[in-house]
Amino acid sequence: MRTCKIFLKTVSAAVFFIAQVVPAAAEADAIPQKITLKLCSVETADTRMDKAWAPPTPPSVEQELPYTDSDLVMLTGPALQKALEENRLVRAENRRRSARLQLASYIAAEQHMNEIINRYQTTTAGRFVILALDTFAGYMGEYCDPEFIQFFHRMDNDEGAKEAFLQAVGSEETAAVPYLVKLVFATPREQSGAVSVTSTYRVSKSTVTQMLTVQIQALDGRMIFAKNIKETASEGYNSVVQTTDGGGDLIQSAMEKCLESAAKAINDHFVKQTTFTVEAKNDKNGDFRAENAVLTVDGVERPLNSPISLLAGKHEVKVTHSGFRQTDPEVMNISSSGVRKIIMDKALCSFSVELQCPQDAGSDSLADADVSITGDGGMQIPVPYGKTAVVPAGNYTLNVSLKGFEPVSKKIVLSSSAHAEPVVLKKSE
């Protein structure tokens, strides 16, 4: 754990971060999205100008598309292709304009942060605030899920990095606009009082209470998340042995507890610990084996029955198992940590029969064939010739009878795909 001496009895501080959700790489074990947090401003309550500063809001500059959906419906061939291309070019230009405006906001926040930090470095209290930020950076690295949240203590001044940011924001794969994460410290409240007094010594107890407000905002000012954190630190002192009240150390301890709780709260807001379990219904024959089920989340195979980290939001969750299908929606909104049970049912199969008979038997007579399948549970399902029946996958007995032909009875296995069963009819003796 990183520690630093912080004695801020009268200074309130606000810390801003900027976050961008960016697409992950395309490796097999890639995580679909990742949040990058970058420090962009430090605020104190004792400077009005600092306290009044707010991140600039990019105005909307989107151009209207040349062709609406109703226009496109009326077009065909080369004219349609031309219209689609013109719409694509306008969309691309809108993304570039939006990216340039967001980059301007990003740079403005960076400049403001640097001005404040330069001012803080000239005062003792300001240097302690910067040390507190270093401590918070340590907690962010310790408590934030590295698969999803990366924390950077300083904005990147490199022009190449700004250009990369511009390109990322302008890409179609960008998942969200940047976020602002704000931490606001209230002035610590100190209390002290005698615990017990004897003829030989006196024990006093000092307590410091620290309040911290955590807010997460989008660049457009929309509030995403808000949380108030309250932490206390206390200690008893024997006045014979120690004459100081140790208040500075208690303030440091209470502030560090708040910083630690803030890092956890930020991570818990964005990242959810989710355990997926699977259960099958209508499995009278015991064909379902949980160990044979395969879970994929956003196209990446993940373990069942074990906690996995997911970025809060919508994810494509699929479970596959031979002969079974998932009944739950494949797109799930993961808004909280916990266990999510996925229900499986027998897979559905499109079943039909292809009757084959001697050439001298009229094909019209095949329509009179009595065709049915019987499941293991004894339920009989009629399958008229030339028709398709959608039935659960599993083991069946196929029965075919037609006047003038020998009856047919055979065992068949239907999977989760279309199945056309050939049946050869023989004339009766």
CA gyration radius, the chain: 34
CA 188, 134, 42, 56 torsion: positive or negative? negative
- Give the pLDDT confidence of 300-322 residue by residue, as tens digits: 899 999 999 998 888 999 999 88
CA 122, 126, 132, 138 torsion: positive or negative? negative
Distance CA 272, CA 297 (A): 14
237 DSSP β-pair partners: 204
Enter the DSSP assignment of 285: T
pLDDT tier at 264, thresholds 50, 70, 90: very high
Most confident of 30-34, 301-305, 342-346: 301-305
Contact call for residues 427 and 362 (beta carbons, < 8 A): no
Other CB atoms within 10 Å distance of the CB of residue 208? 25
* Stretch (H or E) spanning 93: helix 77-120
pTM: 0.63
Distance CA 141, CA 202 (A): 42
pLDDT tier at 31, thresholds 50, 70, 90: very low
What domains lie within the chain, and their CATH numbers? 13-270 (no CATH), 273-346 (2.60.40), 349-424 (2.60.40)
Distance CA 334, CA 137 (A): 27
Other CB atoms within 10 Å distance of the CB of residue 172? 8
